[in-house]
A and B are shown apart, each in its own frame.
Chain A
Amino acid sequence: MFDPATAAVEAALAAGATYADARFVEARAENIEVLNGNVEGLDRIESVGVGVRAMFGSSWGFFGTHDLSAEGLRSAGHRAAEIAKASAAVPGPLFELADVPVVEASYETPHQEPPLEVPLSEKVDLLVTVTEEMAAVDRIRLARASFGAWDTHKWFVSSQGHRIHQHLVECGGGFDATAIGESETQRRSYPQSFGQYETGGYETVRKWEYAANAGRIAEEAAALLDAEQCPEGEMTIILEASQLALQIHESVGHAIELDRILGWEAAFAGTSHLRLEELGRHRYGSDLMNITADATLPGALGTFGFDDEGTPAQRVPIVDAGLWVGVLSGRDSAAIAGLPPGGMVRADGYDRLPMVRMTNVGLLPGASSVEEMIAETRRGVLMSTNRSWSIDDKRLNFQFGCEIGWEIVDGRLGRMIKNPTYTGITPRFWAQLDMLGGAAEWVHWGTPNCGKGQPMQVAHTGHSASPGRFAEVRVGVRG
C-alpha cells in the first residue's frame, strides 16, 4: 500500500512542491453503547484514503481523498501543492524542516486478542451484565457501559525517502451509574470518566474486572444523593490518579505544545502561559514534579512506532524536578524554535493535517502512598474521578469537578462528600504538590477524546500518574 501514497507524493512534487509526504490509512473502529441492559448503539466505522501534505516555500497545503484511482491520487497531490501555493500568498517565516532519520521500517502494537475479532456477543454480554447489575441498585436510574476499539494501518511515504508501515491497535471502555434526585444528578464511573483506553488487545479490557466493580460503583452513586456538600475554603487535597492524569493533560500537556507556544492555535485552542525564552529556567512546580512525554511506554494510549511525519517515537523530558525543560514538537515547529523534533505530530484520519499532539505526558511516580498522604493530612478532601474540566486559553486558571470525595480529618478518612471541586492557577498549584504516590500506584491512564485544531481533530493521549497531594487549594466553589 505504499504505492498510492507514493503516487500522491510524486504528483505534489510535479506540481511544484519542494517537499511532500502522504499517508495511506485504512482505519476500522467499533463502538458499543449499552443503557440499562439495552444495546442503544452499535456502530462500525471504516475509512480508507490518502492524505497528502505539500510544502511550497514555507507554506503547507494538504488534501485528503478517498478516490484511490490513479487520477484521484494525482489530483490530490496536485491540489495539495496548489493549496500550498495559495498559502504562500500570505506567507510566514522561511524555515527548513528539522532533520529526522529517513527510514524504511514497520511497527505493530503488541497485543494478544485483536479487539475487533473478539465475538460481539462476548463484548455485549459483558456490558449488558454490568449495566443490569448497576440498574438493580436502588435509586440508580441510568446504568451505562461502553466499549470502543480502533484498528489502524498507516503507510507513510515522504519525498525524502521514508517508507513506514504501522499497525496500531487500541481499545477500552468503562461504565457509569447515575442516580437522579429531586433537583440533582450524581454519577460514578469506572475505571475513569469516559472509560479507560490503552494500546493493546482485548486483554487490556479484561484486566479491569468490570463485573467485580459494578455493584460498588452503583452503591456509591446512590449514596452521593444523601452525601454532604463539599466544604468550601482552602485546604489540602489528595487527587486519585485518574484525576491527576487529567490535571496533567490540561495544565501541562496542552501548555507545552510548541504550536500553541508559537501562537498557531491562538484563536481556537488558545496559546500558553509558557514562553520559549524561559525554557530551562521556568519553575513549573515543586521538586516532586518530573514529567516526560514518552511515546515508547508499552500499553499507554499515546504509544506508537513513528509519528505522522515519520519521526521515531521517543522519550522527552518535559519537567525535571519542577523545572520546565521540554516541549511537544514536530518538524516545522521544532525548526522554527531551534529545538530537536520530538516526534509528536499526529492526525485524526487520512483526511486531516498532522499537528502537534500529546503522546504519553505523564508524571513520574514518587515515594508515598495514598494511605501515607491521608495519615499526614490534618484537614482536607480526597477527590476521585473527573466530572467536569475547564481551563483558560493560556492553561492557567482551571476548575475541576470530581464525582466523589471524602473528607479527611486528623489523618483519617471521614464522610463521603458530593460535588467536590477545586480551582487554581497552574504554576502555583503544581508548586503545592508535596506528596506523590509510588510506582505501585502508577497507572497509564488514557484520554481518547482530546480535541484540538480546526477542523477539529480527536487524538488519543496517555497520562501516567499515581495519586498526589496538594496543599492549600481552594475547594468547594459553587454556582
Chain B
Amino acid sequence: MGLLKPPLHGVHDARGAKFTEFGGWDMPVEFDSIRTEHESVREAAGIFDVSHMGEIIVSGPDAEALMQRLTSNDVTVLSPGDAQYSMITNEDGVIIDDTVVYRLPDAIEGDYLFIPNAGHDGEMQRRWETHRDEWGLDASVENVTSDWAMFALQGPDAEKLLMAAVDEHTPAEPTAVQNLKSFTATVLSFDGAECIVARTGYTGEDGFEILAPWDDAEAVWELFDVQPCGLGARDTLRMEMGFLLSGQDFHPEDNPRTPYEAGLSFTVKLDTEFVGRDALERQHAEGVAEKFVGFQLLERGVPRHGYDITNTDEEHIGTVTSGTMSPTLGEPIGLGYVPVDYADPDTTIHVLVRGNPKKAVIKSLPFNQ
C-alpha cells in the first residue's frame, strides 16, 4: 500500500517541501530549513500541516462511559468545547498512545473527538469498538481521519493571524478567538469553511490547531501568510519542551512506559475506572524505578535516538529516546529514561556518541524555560 497523502501534498510539493514517511503518511519534513522554521515559531509564528493525525468521533448515550474507561484522564470534567491531554493505556498501565480528548462544541454533531497519533487511528477505532461491544455500551465510533485536515498555527503571533483570517460572519468574532482559552475549542468559519479551532499545540508556544474539512483544506491553509513548517521543526520544538513523541519516547512493545515513568501523572485520575488503572495504582503506591528526563550534552556531539546512556563508571543506565541540537539554546539536548537515582537535575551522566562517552548533565524540563 502506498503512503497516505495530506490534502495539501501537491501544494507543499510545489512550495519545495521535502517529505518523509511518518505513520504511513508522506508528510512535509522541511520547507526552508528546520532552524528557520523553528525560530519563526519561537519568535513569530509558523503553520504545520498535521493532517496525518487521526480523528475519531465517539457519540451516543454511553459515549462518556466509553471514553472514561479507555482513557486515563477524567472526561466527566469536560464541558462542551473543553479539551484534555490523556493517555490510552493497556492492562499493565503501559501507554499505547497519547491523545487529546475534546468534548465537542455544541455546534458540531457528536459528543467526543479524540486525536490519535499518525497511523494509530485504525487500531484505536478497533480498540474502542471491541471494548464497546465487550462492555455492552451504546456508542458509535466513527473514524473521520480522512474527512479532516489538521493544521497547527503556533507562535506568539498566532492569535492575531487567526483573528485576521477568521470570517467576519463567525459569531462574536474577533472575541471568539481572544476568548478561546488554552485547551478549549470552538467552531469558526474561514473562507466559508466551518472549522473546529482549539487553543492547543505541541510546540510550547501559544497557538491553535485547526480541523478543516478535507475539501476546504487548501483554501484555509492559503489564508495564513506565515512560515510553513515541517515535521522536522515540530520535532525540535517539542523536544525543547520535553514533550514525548509516540513510538519513540514510548512504544508499547519496544519501549513500554507508564504515564508515571513518563512524568505525565497529571493525565492519570485514579479515582476513575479505566483499562490499566489497577496497575497504575500499584505503581503509584510503590513508586517508579525509572523516570523520563532531559539532559544537555556538555561536550561536542549530538545525542540521537538509540544511543546508550551510562553513569560516570561507564555502566549502562538507559537509552536516549530523542535528541537533537536545540536551535533555541544552541546546545545538544536529549530525552530518555534513567533510574530515579540519576534523575535529579545537575546529575552527571554520559551519553555514548558513536561509542565515545560524552559528558552530559540532567536538566529540568522544559529546556527553554
A and B part of one assembly: no
Question: What residues make up the interface of B, taking CB atoms closer than 8 Å to A?
Answer: none
